[in-house]
Amino acid sequence: MKNFSVLLTLTLSLFICVNTFAQLSKEEKKEWKRMAKQMVKDPAQLKTLMENEQQLQQEVTTIKEENQALQSQLDNKNQKIDELEENLTQIRADLSAANSELSSLQETGAAGATAAAMPGVVFKVQIGAFRNKDLSKYFENNPNFAGEIRDETQKITLGNFRDYWEADTFKKYLREMGVKDAWIVPYKDGERVPIKDVLEGVISQ
Provide mean pLDDT across the span 46-54: 79
Rounded alpha-carbon distances, angstroms, from residue 169 to 52, 107, 129, 159, 161: 108, 29, 21, 12, 11
Are 43 and 11 contacting, i.e. CB atoms less than 8 angstroms apart? no
Most confidently predicted of 29-33, 54-58, 92-96, 116-120? 54-58
pLDDT digits (tens, 9 = 90+) for 129-155: 888 777 777 777 777 777 777 777 888
CA dihedral 25, 29, 32, 38 (to 10 degrees): -160
pLDDT at position 117 is 52
In the predicted model, what is the mean pLDDT of residues 59-87? Answer: 89
DSSP string for residues in 66-81: HHHHHHHHHHHHHHHH
pLDDT of 197 above 70: yes
18-27, 32-41, 52-61, 70-79, range with the lowest pLDDT: 18-27
User: What integer pLDDT is reported at residue 1 of this predicted model?
Assistant: 54
- Position 15 scores a pLDDT of 56
What pairing do the DSSP bridges indicate for beta strands 121-130 and 183-188? antiparallel
